[in-house]
Structure 1
């Protein structure tokens, strides 16, 4: 063992640069994987923490009736109930901001199941009879805090002033402007004061199940027992978790996939480095065997050396991540702080580090095994036919006075196709991953610069408050910067089977259709036609061309899905038709809001301010949410990953250069003999390396473009957005990447090629191995 360690130490001293880059690449990969783990935990565990601590309900039933909820006790598998709570819709206002609320009458003692977790202020108290507790997301929308006075308006239009006494977290679906009301708790006496009309007071009850997998069955039983005409909305714990994970899960999965890809690239790069070392150390291996090393000892020598690289690199990456990770500003730093407090942190970093070491060690096994099979008789290898004669094409090119560096460099790069293909493949893999990262960057740019291409044609949404539709439509149409105004209405609908509530939206008219972004099929052209998001198609098991039956307020509605739209809201679980189609089932239906398409040069903030002033507060204006706003941290992550992959590519490039110098070892004598100067010989070696880099760049970018489009669209389908959102990198960006790879290869290989061309040449036995 002592001899093995001494040989590994000598080899390390002779190849310090390559060893340093391998260690740094492994450290970067380890850091990427640990950050990915932290972000994934950050995405999922805040909701899981709240759900566990609050004994959250798996199913929430929102009803219009108050006499049938007692029947829910007959459902099998229900472990605990939360409520029933009397509920009423209302509108809350504070400092000019307005939101819709679902008021819940609650007692001074919080419920045992699905109890709100108060993290600011306190729970309801009889000493503050007009107190109200706001759920955290609706409080954030209102910029409200304990002590603020909140004006709440019921159906009669009268305002009641309530005092915010606390803010609470809950595991239910969060507040979303125009889609889902926020939750607020107040004493039952105050609820009936805000909403005196008992016909508008319903009930909400939460069911905590013994088996969470029975959610769909329990929801269907509950709707059957109460009656579909009495159920206003059904929500489940799976929907709430998916919404909570949506903001960061995509970022975490992106980082994790790139980290795993970088780990694979590193493993392949290490394998190539060891294979090159085996070929470069043939005389040394022969000497080792001559002095008594067994094949097993040779194998262990290479494994020990590269296992040491892996352990050092993983240790550096883990220590740096654990030390500096919590100090990173923004979401990544918050994720690392939270991860430290979770039970998974006790084993996840160790498992990640051990996995990285094992993968790299396994990748070295084959090359190390080949090292053990090297013949101890050097002359036996010299008898193998080398196949170094110039081809007819090369000789013809020389006759045409083609520069010798190009002809001989091409021959040096590709005269052994198998080895050339292996080198191109290893160098192309990090370039492929970088191209995928650039594809993710381009897709984010597309969301920000061309939102109309990804289902965000309207930047603003205006909701009339206290003014009639005609006045609102005139104000919006006359506003400079507004190019189109589309009336809209959203209602909750039960899908077939009545196990889920989805959003049914009416937008535009038959004469003035809304500009949906259609990825499959066509847009709406007639009555009873609709377009649906990928999330809805997956939920109901439908496809373009199918007819879908839904229930709205107890009344059925049947729509023909003629197209799949890119739908960034509500995880794609949205089906859209025209306002006229919805009016066929309810003639009294009126537009609730207007979607505004702005001119390209118009500033949304300026337009919002101008409309608010011209309407004297009669219009509530909001920006439509862009998913790119939630992935702002992805840009920094992509930059970091590109740096890691560049390190891997650099380490592989050193391997290619070392292999090229060894392959040209015998040719140097011949090139010198035919009259080439040292500068021309160096040009041959550099050109050979450049050809390998160019082939790798071409292969990596082409495959990377195809892979990035496929991966991003796959993620789009799984998140509900649907395929068709991917934007490949621009040709200029790909050209820049390829040029940088080739230029870097040429620049790095220049110095070693110059040194090799000027060394004293002798016909050594090792040059023919």
Structure 2
């Protein structure tokens, strides 16, 4: 053991650079995986992030105004209480849009269920009519700090002073009112139905049901009007982040595999560079087992040091990183499972390194005590026919020999190219995800969102009046009348959305991914979610019931449907009128001219109708995917780091293996600059081959993955958008030139070695 430790110490002193590289490589990979884990938790679980930062209540209990809710704080298992706060139901209007709200009276920001301000400021006694809106409600009302809200039917106005995130159930038009924090005086002056609400934060979240039972028993069943547990709010919030979770989960696993392969390549290259030292150890009496233990213990120590370094830096400094990454780490540190991930990821990396090192060390133990001399045959003797012809054409010898050097050891070269191609492939997939999000935002008509505004009119306006009013606005390009009703399909317990949009003379421009548009009587197009729900295909007939009226439709196409999970079947308004001649348009889908602002157009239409119609922006799924942009950037940075580690490993191996050929190259007249060019060319060939493989496989893989996600979410296949050829060409050029630049310095140093150094290295 003493001799083993002495040799390990001597080896460390003579190969400090290589040891430092292994430690830094391990630290970089572990840090990358920890950051990816933090980004995953931050982006895929925004509700948990808000709940943790706001000290959210596990259950909100709505009661009548006379209920004595103060006793809830004395219940066993209740850690803290928010409220009780007085509430009042009301309707608010802004820019022609109305929303049902719950006004909640408070002055100070509570410690439990604390709203997280995203813009503006909290309630101020100096602004007696000031209110703070929940962020989802603010988006629905197009409201910002400083805007004025009106209470329809009265002359009252409220001023928006702030917008905040909350972990409570979100605003849903027609189903759940939005949340508005207001001074108690504003709540008392409201004519709407009054009550009070109390939030309970529990010591054990799993006891929520039991705590609710005890609270209802204490207050009385008649006093409780509504109960909102945290599981319900989490389920609703996470439903819109399925895509984020699946995409990041896939990237996390793939990045782990890429990192594992990079570590394996680095260790294998290091051990191949120690073959001479291993032979010396065998010659002086070391057994194969001792040799294996030397390398195993040495590399496990390096890996452990790097893993501990990475975990310490992420834990201590990660949250101080500026921007979204620092926010992600700070939030992740407060989420459940943080400690397990902080210990588990480095431990898994160390165990994997130990496994790969053990395999490589076992091979090192089989090296004979007296290795055969490595032949220093002239390079020309091993040249392929293609290389000879290239030299015969007077191509630069450095380029030809560099290309030949890159692929001399074919199995090893192919393995290096495969390891480098994996992170590059994942970067191409990430770029495809970015491009697809851009398509959602800038070409919504191609993903089933041709209309930018949905307008609903009061009963006082007739259909001709509404059409004439909408057509007068110069920013409105087309008006499509329609209706949307819930339909029950026989044998199903749920409902689907049946839409009649446009007319046969002026059809609605559905985005079709399969089949054709519905032109004739009883023809319709359906979303992927409906096809999966009913187990039907394009060309089948489906029967549904709207109230007491049956409706039979022929599905002639599959449309891309981002709404209602794709459980939508759409036909023309004329087709629905054949079954119900008295059917009138209940809504109008408006296509706007390029560059038109939906918010401004909606306000203009509402003002022109004197408040007799309301306009809502059509929600775009890309709005909920905005966190994915920052995550994609972070993932590309992680993958680039992994690719850099693999590239440095390949450069080190190429330089080391080229030292034995240095004298021969100088003997045939090559200058140090030409010898440097050989190594740089070989590295560039590695990178070029990896880029070609990564791009060729990454583009179709990205399309398949995105379309598969589209099918599973009900939107349907056909939403994927690959990066432009110019972007791919720029990516390939940057990768190859970067690899060549990275190899230039070590190749130049190796080319200027003294002859004695070269002889020693080749011995």
Q: TM-score range by the shorter chain?
A: 0.7 to 0.9
Q: Secondary structure in 1 aligned to 2:578?
A: helix
Q: 2:40 aligns with which of 36, 39, 61?
A: 36
Is residue 253 from structure 1 mapped to residue 232 from structure 2 by the alignment? Answer: no
Number of the residue aligned with 2:405: 412
CA distance in 1, matches of 2:368, 2:616: 75
Deviation string, structure 1 residues 29-87 (Cα, Å, up to 9, x no partner): 2221233135444457989999994599xxxxxxxxxxxxxxxxxxxxxxxxxxxxxxx
Number of the residue aligned with 1:25: 29
- The 8 Å contact of residues 26 and 307 in structure 2, kept in 1 or not, is answered as no
1:414 Cα deviation (Å)?
A: 1.3
Q: Secondary structure in 1 aligned to 2:539?
A: coil
1:257 Cα deviation (Å)?
A: 2.2
1:446 Cα deviation (Å)?
A: 1.0
1:525 Cα deviation (Å)?
A: 1.5
Deviation string, structure 1 residues 598-643 (Cα, Å, up to 9, x no partner): 2223333343333233333333222111111112222221112211
Number of the residue aligned with 1:227: none
Number of the residue aligned with 1:528: 522
Flag structure 1 segments of 5+ consecutive residues without an equivalent.
Answer: 57-89, 104-116, 121-133, 153-157, 186-192, 196-211, 213-236
Q: TM-score, normalised by structure 1?
A: 0.75
- The 8 Å contact of residues 43 and 631 in structure 2, kept in 1 or not, is answered as no
Number of the residue aligned with 2:585: 591
1:452 Cα deviation (Å)?
A: 1.2
Q: TM-score, normalised by structure 2?
A: 0.76
Q: 2:560 aligns with which of 566, 573, 581?
A: 566
Number of the residue aligned with 1:557: 551
CA distance in 2, matches of 1:390, 1:4: 40
- The 8 Å contact of residues 399 and 678 in structure 2, kept in 1 or not, is answered as yes
1:411 Cα deviation (Å)?
A: 1.2
Q: Secondary structure in 1 aligned to 2:755?
A: coil
- The 8 Å contact of residues 430 and 636 in structure 2, kept in 1 or not, is answered as yes
1:764 Cα deviation (Å)?
A: 6.8
Instruction: Give the 5 Å matches for 1:417-436.
Output: 417-436=410-429
- The 8 Å contact of residues 521 and 562 in structure 1, kept in 2 or not, is answered as yes
Number of the residue aligned with 1:724: 718
CA distance in 2, matches of 1:548, 1:45: 43
Q: Secondary structure in 2 aligned to 1:379?
A: coil
Number of the residue aligned with 2:750: 756
1:731 Cα deviation (Å)?
A: 1.0
CA distance in 1, matches of 2:394, 2:144: 80
Instruction: Give the 5 Å matches for 1:325-474.
Output: 340=333, 342-379=335-372, 389-465=382-458, 466-474=460-468
The 1:261/1:621 distance shift into structure 2, 3 A limit, reads same
Number of the residue aligned with 2:674: 680
1:159 Cα deviation (Å)?
A: 8.8
- The 8 Å contact of residues 549 and 557 in structure 1, kept in 2 or not, is answered as yes
Out of 407-416 and 299-308, give the one that drifted further: 299-308
Instruction: Give the 5 Å matches for 1:143-154.
Output: none
- The 8 Å contact of residues 41 and 335 in structure 1, kept in 2 or not, is answered as no
- The 8 Å contact of residues 268 and 363 in structure 1, kept in 2 or not, is answered as no
Deviation string, structure 1 residues 191-216 (Cα, Å, up to 9, x no partner): xx999xxxxxxxxxxxxxxxx9xxxx
Instruction: Give the 5 Å matches for 1:503-542.
Output: 503-542=497-536
CA distance in 1, matches of 2:542, 2:253: 41
1:458 Cα deviation (Å)?
A: 1.2
The 1:17/1:168 distance shift into structure 2, 3 A limit, reads closer
Out of 625-634 and 350-359, give the one that drifted further: 350-359
CA distance in 2, matches of 1:341, 1:94: 38
The 1:528/1:364 distance shift into structure 2, 3 A limit, reads farther
The 1:45/1:579 distance shift into structure 2, 3 A limit, reads farther
Number of the residue aligned with 2:601: 607
- The 8 Å contact of residues 35 and 321 in structure 1, kept in 2 or not, is answered as no
Flag structure 2 segments of 5+ consecutive residues without an equivalent.
Answer: 62-88, 103-111, 116-132, 159-163, 181-190, 194-208, 210-229
Instruction: Give the 5 Å matches for 1:55-454.
Output: 92-95=91-94, 98-99=97-98, 141=140, 175-177=171-173, 182=177, 243-323=236-316, 340=333, 342-379=335-372, 389-454=382-447
1:3 Cα deviation (Å)?
A: 4.1
- The 8 Å contact of residues 545 and 551 in structure 2, kept in 1 or not, is answered as yes
Q: Secondary structure in 2 aligned to 1:531?
A: strand
CA distance in 1, matches of 2:602, 2:94: 16
Is residue 494 from structure 1 mapped to residue 498 from structure 2 by the alignment? Answer: no
Number of the residue aligned with 2:9: 6
1:247 Cα deviation (Å)?
A: 3.5
The 1:752/1:324 distance shift into structure 2, 3 A limit, reads closer
Number of the residue aligned with 1:79: none
Q: Secondary structure in 2 aligned to 1:548?
A: strand
1:313 Cα deviation (Å)?
A: 4.2
CA distance in 1, matches of 2:654, 2:693: 20
- The 8 Å contact of residues 510 and 559 in structure 2, kept in 1 or not, is answered as yes
Q: Secondary structure in 2 aligned to 1:665?
A: helix
CA distance in 2, matches of 1:27, 1:584: 64
Q: Secondary structure in 1 aligned to 2:337?
A: helix
Deviation string, structure 1 residues 635-690 (Cα, Å, up to 9, x no partner): 22111221111111111111111221233223222211111122212112211111
- The 8 Å contact of residues 463 and 592 in structure 1, kept in 2 or not, is answered as yes
The 1:95/1:423 distance shift into structure 2, 3 A limit, reads closer
CA distance in 1, matches of 2:155, 2:599: 31
CA distance in 1, matches of 2:384, 2:149: 88
Q: Secondary structure in 2 aligned to 1:462?
A: strand
